[in-house]
Structure 1
């Protein structure tokens, strides 16, 4: 009996994760690309774009010839990818034209609210709190990210010497900083340090503190000096950030209210997440935190530590499933 030859396997997908390189954009783009790669054989290519002169500061509609305006290091040129995933305002002049450039061969995904008509994109993965609407919009809680059980385990092993000796309960403290809606003044930083110190001292626990690039130097110095006497580890900004190892080793997670990325990543662990108040206010962030509370993932920090259980947030995989579903449907004649 003649055996039928197996049909050849389809070639791996090519996925570009495109951003301006800022953590708040690069992380979500790469996180979604990697989630798709876990579900479908694919090659992920990171593309970091930059614009010549002041062109990057202009609105998308004042950049009519974006390929000419890119720096050579951006390396945006054909052959185009199967799936283009972009995040951030800087990518819009490219994303909105890619379907035309690729003759609709590239599936174009834009992360975050583009603040423009969504029709140039195949899919917009937008935070629910942005209230973006459209048939090609997938609203998710927070933003895509790179946190997985495998990554947490690997980073916990790499920082084992730092984390393992720390007494429980271990509290990861994720500090953001200045944004359009929020700030971290010296006065608020001092009050925050006191709020963090009291319950951890009462519980006999330890702190694991990490800062973002947006943390003001004055706030970083105050929080570092006021928490360094406690059992724990305060990352000084030198060397690799043990952020993921802190998420892995924590019993509780405190995250400042200015970052959807940090809170979403924290909520993906299934551990109790508390939101730390900052200076300023934002309706969109209030809606985001209310969404987290409805899901049971996070609560405002009231000065005490307490446990509860909830289903770990897994919005990145949900977004990846939707990308692949729509990508496959488009190929059906």
Structure 2
């Protein structure tokens, strides 16, 4: 829930990037208390490594909107939000921050950092597998009901979640088709989605190859309801590309086996993430598809929320 701030309330500093904002909001949504979402907009100074508590990186409009009463608890994510959170801490807030803050790590009450980032152990550091997110057990239950029609598709239902290179014109269509062709044999139906980074060419290639295959293809930017949560809720297997920390983490909220496709040479953080997830028995490389050991859903957002509630709200 979200709403106006109140004395002693909870604020979520929402980065403009949806995946980053979801890390903070996913924790807040599990606290079972009202909270205010503060959408952040960056000004020219946001790109600088601001080493002190400051609102200098914000746009003038957002700075003007930050007024008392100040919150009791602030939840933020991403390097650019860190100086804002620290500024609010100077006004009495307790601070929970996701991802490395850049500087001032000791200036947070709790840092939620992925194990793949290799943070040094500290009293205020809480390591997590992957990243926190908004795909909670309750959200999956709602999606299972809302998208019940997907459950009527032939099984096994394979959810295919495609990302793409972080800095690129899009995913190579041949690479996208190679992943699809790996999962098509034995699939009763395919629930495929592209992301902002996948690109039009790969999306068009998928659409052509999936013509006549039972299932649904949702291409990024399409009008109408987004079935992404329904795909996760109704999938018997999930295949996700290795580039997206968010999609990998969200896939692990399901009880389905999760297979990881692709490599990212020169991306040590992603390689470390995959090693941590595979070591914990949470993911399996796509070359072993469809064999996978049983796994339990991973609920790091709930675990963090429980710690936040116990430390700062009770």
TM-score (norm 2): 0.88
Pair 1:121–1:279, CA change in 2 (3 A): closer
Which secondary structure does the structure 1 equivalent of 2:216 belong to? Answer: strand
Deviations along 1:162-216, whole A, 9 cap, x unmatched? x13310000011111231599722332232232233x2xxx25110011222222
TM-fit CA distance, 1:159? 2.0
CA distance in 2, matches of 1:182, 1:87: 27
Structure 2 unaligned runs (5+)? 1-5
Which secondary structure does the structure 2 equivalent of 1:85 belong to? Answer: strand
Assess if the C-alpha contact under 8 Å between 1:126 and 1:132 holds in 2: yes
TM-fit CA distance, 1:20? 1.9
Pair 1:86–1:73, CA change in 2 (3 A): same
Pair 1:226–1:82, CA change in 2 (3 A): same
CA distance in 2, matches of 1:251, 1:18: 35
Pair 1:244–1:12, CA change in 2 (3 A): farther
Deviations along 1:254-291, whole A, 9 cap, x unmatched? 11101122112211212100001155442221221122
Moved over 6 A (4+): none
Q: Provide the aligned length of Structure 1 versus Structure 2.
A: 305
Q: Aligned residue for 1:231?
A: 214
Q: Aligned residue for 1:301?
A: 286
CA distance in 2, matches of 1:223, 1:13: 50
Candidates 20, 40, 50, aligned match of 1:49: 40
TM-fit CA distance, 1:94? 0.5
Pair 1:156–1:68, CA change in 2 (3 A): closer
Pair 1:182–1:171, CA change in 2 (3 A): farther
Structure 1 unaligned runs (5+)? 1-10
1:121 equivalent in alignment to 2:108: yes
- Which entry has the higher C-alpha Rg, 1 or 2? 1
1:70 equivalent in alignment to 2:55: no
1:319 equivalent in alignment to 2:304: yes
Q: Aligned residue for 2:225?
A: 240
Assess if the C-alpha contact under 8 Å between 2:79 and 2:100 holds in 1: no
Pair 1:131–1:182, CA change in 2 (3 A): farther
Q: Aligned residue for 1:6?
A: none
TM-fit CA distance, 1:46? 1.2
TM-fit CA distance, 1:106? 0.9
CA distance in 1, matches of 2:286, 2:94: 41
Deviations along 1:103-149, whole A, 9 cap, x unmatched? xx211111011232301211110001001123211111011111222
Q: Aligned residue for 1:148?
A: 136
Pair 1:153–1:321, CA change in 2 (3 A): closer
Pair 1:142–1:183, CA change in 2 (3 A): farther
Q: Aligned residue for 2:127?
A: 139
Pair 1:314–1:182, CA change in 2 (3 A): farther
CA distance in 1, matches of 2:126, 2:74: 16
CA distance in 2, matches of 1:278, 1:19: 30
